[in-house]
Each structure stands twice: as C-alpha cells, then as structure tokens.
Structure 1
Amino acid sequence: MIRMDIEDEDDINKARRRVRGFLSENGIDRYPLLRSYMLTIVSELARNIYLYAKPGKVNVSMIDEGKKRGIKLEFIDHGPGLDLEKMKKEELGKNGLGLGLTGSKSLSDEFYIDSSPGRGTHITCIKWIK
C-alpha cells in the first residue's frame, strides 16, 4: 500500500509517479490500458483535491476478493464536501465540477462516494484485473 498527501500542485505529479511505480511493482505493466485508467483516475481526483479540498490523501493498494485481484484507489479530504443529491439532479460534470468524478467513475469497475456538505469526501475506485 502507498499513501500520499495532496497539498500542492506538485503533489499531483508525485502521486502519478508513485502510483506508476506501485503498479509496475505489482505487475500491472502487463495491462497497459488498466495502467492508463488508474493513472488517469489518480490525476483527475488528486487534482480535484488540490483545487477544491486541499489538503487530502491518496491511498493505493492491491486487493483480493475470492479469485479476483484488483487495485483500490482512495481519495480522502476534509474539504467542503459534496452535495450528492444536488449533483444527481444536475448533470454531473456539466459545468466543470464533477468532470473528474464522472470520468473516474466510467474508468472504474466499482465507484463509491461518501460525502456531504461540510464533512469532506471519501472516494473509492476499484478496478479488477481481467
């Protein structure tokens, strides 16, 4: 598992480099599309932390569930939080806020958001190795 702090713009690139190394160490280089998806998610959601909710954290780990193996990405902040009901009513990502969320969700096999206004946000993305 790796854990990274996101406090400034340089941390976004550092996170990408560390995740790239982590994926390589865990044999994900054999799956270039999967690697690309994971790095895109890290870029988008780490940038969201930096822009809207710094400081925050990114955690990356390999997970096993039965015979499945996957990559789990977590993005945690203590920022203003998201009004998920309002975001559902509006088109998610239409005006910039949420574009990283929409894209990251589409690249994930499982995607969870735990957030509310004033409470911060915890996003979990899981991609299974196929």
Structure 2
Amino acid sequence: MSDPGPLTDDAIAFIREQAFLIVATADAAGDSDCSYRGRQPRADGSFAPLVDLPHRRTLVLPDFAGNNLFNTIGNLLVNPAIALLFVDFVRQTTWLVQGRATVDEDAGSRAHLWPDAKRYVVVAVERAQARADAALPPLVLA
C-alpha cells in the first residue's frame, strides 16, 4: 500500500490478527458508551474478519443484531466521533484507532465478509497509535 494514511503496515497487520476490539462512542451530550465486538463464527467453523481495512484511511466494522439498545449506532447518528481499541494481551500491546464514523445501512454491500451483519460502521481514520504497556496483564493460555 502506497497511501501514507494513518494506518501503517504495522497497524494493519496487528488489527487483522485480533479476535476482538472495544468500541467507544458518545452521545450528543458527551456521555460515553463502550462495548465489546468479537469475530463472528462461520458455518464451517472458521471466523469472519473482525474488521475490513479497504485502505489506510478507512476501517469498516460490521454491526450485528445484539441487545437492541443501539447505543453505538444511536450515538454515531448524533456524534460521529469513534475510538476503537485493539488489545493483544500476549504481546502486551494495544492499538488505538480514532476517527469519524458513518453508518452504512446497505447490509448487502459487504455480505461476502459478514452475511449476518445488519449494517456497517465506516470509520474515516484520523489517527492510529500503538502502545506497548507492561502493566497490561499478559494472557496465559491454559
């Protein structure tokens, strides 16, 4: 990729390896909400990608049927600021991706990646930052 956008090769490789992320949004008054998003299993036992990274300035997150509270989507409709935290406990490293999001209601536009998604959150990435943190507890597989 030759586009010098905020998502570097290191960021893209790290993000593609992750099984989950934390998404943070806020409503019009600034009250925040954080939620977990994880990879979805496919019928064959494999997992769908966590996100799509069409280029260095865009990240796409599927939105699946959940608790029907629509906290994330509702917040984004009044305040497009979004932060995504990707955590790798084994490497004790995180990547924070920040940007502005829009909601893509065309559920079929990325059905080849996520056939059960109801819509997509399309993030125009403004900033991506890695952080190694020895205070992050290491994951020990049993």
TM-score by length of 2: 0.31
Relative to its length, the structure with more helix (as a share) is 1
- Larger Cα-atom Rg: 2
Relative to its length, the structure with more strand (as a share) is 2
